[in-house]
Structure formats: C-alpha cells, structure tokens
Amino acid sequence: MSALRLILKIGAVLAILLGLIWIGQGTGLFPYPASSFMINQSPWILNGVLLAVAGAVGLYLLRRRG
C-alpha cells in the first residue's frame, strides 16, 4: 500500500469519527466539554452527518480501487 493511500484512509476514518462526535454534541448525547458551543445545536447534527458520510464514501472508494 502506498503512503498516500494510507494517509487518505486514515483521513477518511478520522472524518467518520469526527462526524460522529459532532452528531453526538449536536444532539446533546456527548456534552464534552461542558462549555462547548456545539452542544444541543442542530446545525452540528447535519454537519456531522455530512462529514461522516463523506468519510465513509471516501473509505469505500479507497478500498474499492485497492
């Protein structure tokens, strides 16, 4: 596996994880840190979904072309 593909796969996985955190904070299920401006803010739910889906699509495409 080339170094670039590995970096892209790591980036895709991190995008999925970050998207899930944003969803958790936007819904209030993951209220950490307590002073975060993202807690219970619905725009962060949509942003998280979009980021997680983009990461999943990127990971799918990287694995498919492997």
> What is the per-residue pLDDT across 8-64, written as a single tens digit (0 to 9) for each?
999 999 999 999 999 999 998 888 888 888 898 999 999 999 999 999 999 999 988
Rounded to 5°, the CA angle 60-62-66 comes to 115
Give pLDDT, residue 31.
83
Contact 45, 27 (CB under 8 A): yes
Question: Domain segments of the chain: what residues?
Answer: 3-64
pLDDT value at 6 more than 70: yes
pLDDT value at 65 more than 80: no
